[in-house]
Amino acid sequence: MYVITADQVGSRTRPDIVGAVQSALGERFGDHLALPVDRNAGDELQALTGHAATALDIVLDLTRSGEWSVGLGIGTVRLPLPRNTREATGDAFVAARSAVTRAKRSATRFASESVAEPRSAEDVEALLGLLLTIRSTRSAAGWELYDLVTSGLTQAEAGARLGITPQSASDRARAAGLRAELAARPALTRLLESADAAQAAGDEDADRPTEDG
């Protein structure tokens, strides 16, 4: 499973946005969450999901504004689940806690960790970090086009909505790295799925008796 722990940047000097973002995430992703998004430790959010695509979407949503340090933990979660995310435990929660601490020192404000098979989470962090670097250079105009395209419009339709020519839309998409992101997202989803499967396999190996045992 996937645990996202996000810490608000500069929470002591900025208005509290935890409640508003908590509600927005719940409204958008609620059907794909194992438990409701929870507030933790005052200025933190925690989300739990078994869906790789949802985990990726939440990470991308939270890192877009630069207002959050985001840690992704991949691994097992103790069952049965409690009623609140902040009361849940397991390797994924341990990993997310360590990841968000590292994320605070990262240029992308993102880190990913796992307990049973750390290398798979390292791969996720490296490749997702590349995408976040591309996104960090995207202009407001690029984001405007991105939002329309990811809402279901074609690039041409989005350009028409914005009142720009197809060539201008193409130039804007190229500068924003839209094609690279749209190609990377399915691949990153598959990588996250593989990382989760690796954690389960690692846990099974750890529980298997040795020849000496």
Q: Which residue has the higher pLDDT, 158 or 202?
A: 158
In percent, the amount of the chain with pLDDT more than 70 equals 94
How confident is the model at residue 107, as a pLDDT? Answer: 95
Helices 155-162, 140-150: inter-axial angle, 10-degree rounding: 130
Degrees, nearest 5: CA angle 25-27-30: 80
When pLDDT is cut at 50, 70 and 90, the band that residue 207 belongs to is low
Average pLDDT over residues 79-104: 96
Burial grade of 146 (CB within 10 A; 0-12, 13-18, 19 or more): buried
pLDDT band at residue 197 using 50, 70 and 90 as cut-offs: very high
In total, the chain counts a number of residues equal to 213
Q: Is the pLDDT of residue 213 over 60?
A: no
Q: Is the pTM of this model over 0.85?
A: yes
Give the confidence band of 37 by pLDDT, cuts at 50, 70, 90.
very high
Angle formed at CA 99 by CA 27 and CA 137, multiple of 5 degrees: 70
Nearest Cα to 146, choosing from 55, 56, 134, 191? 134
Pairing status of strand 35-40 against strand 2-8: unpaired
Q: Rounded to an integer, what is the distance from CA 100 to the centroid of its chain? A: 12
Tell whether the model's pLDDT for residue 146 goes beyond 50.
yes
Give residue 210's pLDDT: 45
What's the whole-number mean pLDDT along residues 80-109? 96
Task: Give the confidence band of 206 by pLDDT, cuts at 50, 70, 90.
Answer: low
Res 40: pLDDT: 87
Domains and CATH numbers, the chain: 2-130+191-198 (3.30.70)
pLDDT at 91: 96
